[in-house]
Amino acid sequence: MSEEKKSLNFLEQIIEEDLANGLDKNKLRFRFPPEPNGYLHIGHAASICLNFGLGLTYNAPVNLRFDDTNPVKEEQEYVDAIKNDIQWLGFQWENELYSSDYFGQLYQWAILLIKKGKAYVDDQSSEEIAKQKGTPTEPGTNSPNRNRPVEENLALFEKMKNGEFEEGSHILRAKIDMASPNMLMRDPIMYRVLRKSHHRTGDTWNIYPMYDWAHGESDYIEQISHSICTLEFKPHRQLYDWFLDQIYSGKDLRPKQREFARRNLSYTVMSKRKLLQLVEEGHVNGWDDPRMPTISGLRRRGYTPESIRKFSEVSGISKRDNVTDVALLEFCIKDHLNKTAPRVMAVLNPVKVIITNYPEGKEEWLDAENNPEDENAGSRKVPFSKEIYIEQEDFREEANKKFFRLKLGKEVRLKNAYIIKAESCKKDAEGNITEIHCTYDEKSKSGSGTEESKRRVKGTLHWVSIAHAVHAEVRLYDRLFTDEAPDAHKDKDFKEFINPNSLVINTNAFVEPSLQDARIGDKFQFQRLGYFTIDNDSTAERLVFNRTVPLRDSWAKIEHKK
Ligand code: ATP
Ligand code: MG
């Protein structure tokens, strides 16, 4: 690797050491192993960026392996969504593989273990087996079936496979050590009877391998050099190695498992099981609801692949569990959209302004810069006329000196347009302001070069011309949970912390006409408001925007405090 690369993460250091100790660089091979039982989330993105990132760094292949050993929870819909999300993030796998492709080989190896006296069939009840397990401080006791003769084990195992036994009646166990301080080594289950149809193998199998048995052996079949998983699998490493010991030829590459800390994010939950609950119980509108921490939710919300990759990069790879502040994720998308999203004007809570001295029927198309952060972004024309909308919050009849917006008797600049002065306003019976009457300074047009155009006034407001405005729906999202760590409360269910105001739908927004032909996924900065993207629900008749993130930057504040 190049010397100028500043700091290697600890996994890269392990790889570098292995290379220094003689591992052939061409033997490096990685995998990303999702279980197709849900949609990928931002935690998976950490693992994807890590594994595919190592592939890029070392110019090594990365397999996509679906860990589909549990037919009860797995579906083709998830397989398709996972593939789509990985590609959208910008990564390409070498081979698309399935643990289920190895069911035959795994079965043969299980027979080998039985023959070597390293596995046996247990037909005790699960309660009985649990009782014999012992505790972390007390050894377990051996199953009465532990020394079943090989021939009998082979016959029973075959019957398990052929569907002659009921679910839960028989298991195949590895014969390791019921007194091991590592509970996982106390004769763990290799196979259980499951009379379920599998999304790929159909009804071929009546037994399915357990994760620990399938995972390492799949790594071996694929000759994965570094099998990277999350910390909770650390105690499984001993078992991973034991299973490999039983079948390793001694000649080819022997995979090694290494662990890193899960990515956790504040104000959300990340387990697929919990995300599935949110979907099934209707707390959100599907896996791709823009409030979900799923890749598909973030995409719909307006996140870019670049921003998610950046987030993975800056939050880094850690050896210890930690929680990343969601504000960092928001910072990453803002940073990317600041550079790339065109600026436009939209008014979310409109109030009408009439410019009394502007000629009736006149219309001007004013120059507006698309993105001051991007010199190639060019400019567009926005229409101006006698009647415009501004935000209700931008006007007060009276206000103190700190209110740099429009108030009676004072001036503001309309972005890309003129300086106006509020003269009077009209109210309805409840006292709501319905109309603001202003005058404008004809010579103050932005960019016209006159003295007046350079005149500085305190506030600048965004606006849209009423005659030209396009009606839009805007969906404003807040955090889905009110608590920083909703699933960290022992006595409370995480759903108790669901934020009842996480979605506010505004059907009365107006946007400038240049947005009329925007397409699903297009991203904009609504000036002074935030970043917005066109939602999937949008149609030519009804534009629908999602607010990706407001402009105000909470991450900068957090950093500043440190
Ligand atoms: P969940 O608990 O959300 O269901 P999982 O670990 O069961 O996640 P898998 O489909 O088995 O989900 O995960 C695929 C890969 O992604 C695994 O290697 C796993 O370790 C990794 N992964 C899952 N969640 C995270 C996370 N929060 N941070 C980092 N890596 C993760
Ligand atoms: Mg899992």
pLDDT tens digits along 101-160:
999 999 999 999 999 999 999 999 999 999 999 999 999 999 999 999 999 999 999 999
Predicted confidence (pLDDT) per residue in 112-126, tens digit: 999 999 999 999 999
What lines the ligand 1 site, CB under 6 Å?
33-35, 43-44, 46-47, 67, 229-230, 262-263, 270-272
Question: Which residue in 315, 317, 310 sits closest to 325, CA to CA?
Answer: 315
CATH domain 352-462 topology: Ribosomal Protein L25; Chain P (2.40.240)
552 band by pLDDT with thresholds 50, 70 and 90: confident
Tokens representing 7 are: 């700091």
SS3 (DSSP) at 434: strand
- 150: tokens are 């090989």
Write out pLDDT tens, residues 207-259: 999 999 999 999 999 999 999 999 999 999 999 999 999 999 999 999 999 99
Question: Residue 233 CA: which ligand is closest?
Answer: 1
Given 16, 35, 369, 473, the catalytic residue: 35
Determine the 3-state secondary structure of 197 from DSSP.
coil
Order of strands, sheet of 30-32, starting from the edge strand that comes earlier in the sequence:
30-32, 62-66, 96-98
- Provide the percentage of residues in the chain whose pLDDT is more than 70: 97
262 is catalytic: yes
Where do the domains of the chain lie? 3-260, 272-342+472-561, 352-462
What are the C-alpha distances in Å from 543 to residues 389, 503, 519, 539? Answer: 18, 17, 9, 6
β strands within 401-522, DSSP E: 406-407, 411-414, 419-427, 433-440, 460-461, 464-465, 470-477, 503-511
More confidently predicted of 317 and 1: 317
Residue 558 has pLDDT above 80, yes or no: no
Name the CATH topology of 272-342+472-561: Ribosomal Protein L25; Chain P (2.40.240)
The residue nearest atom 31 of ligand 1, judged by CA position, is 44
For residue 125, how many other CB atoms are within 10 A of its CB? Answer: 11
Distances (CA, A) of 403 to 364, 412, 454, 508: 29, 11, 21, 25
Report d(CA 364, CA 383) in Å as an integer: 6
Catalytic residue among 118, 161, 237, 272: 272
pLDDT digits (tens, 9 = 90+) for 463-492: 999 999 999 999 999 999 999 999 999 999
Predicted structure pTM score = 0.94
Q: Do domains 3-260 and 272-342+472-561 have the same CATH topology?
A: no
3-state DSSP of 74-118: CCHHHHHHHHHHHHHCCCCCCCEEEHHHHHHHHHHHHHHHHHCCC
CB neighbours of residue 136 within 10 Å: 7
The protein residue whose alpha carbon is closest to atom 1 in ligand 1 is 271
Structure letter (DSSP) for residue 141: -
Distance, CA of 532 to CA of 542 (rounded, Å): 15
In angstroms, the CA 65 to CA 36 distance is 10
CATH architecture of the domain covering 3-260: 3-Layer(aba) Sandwich (3.40)
Give, using CA atoms, the residue closest to atom 26 of ligand 1: 43
CA distance 323 to 311: 13
Measured between alpha carbons, how far is residue 278 from residues 271, 284, 383, 495, 513 in Å? Answer: 11, 6, 44, 8, 37
Q: What is the DSSP letter of 414?
A: E
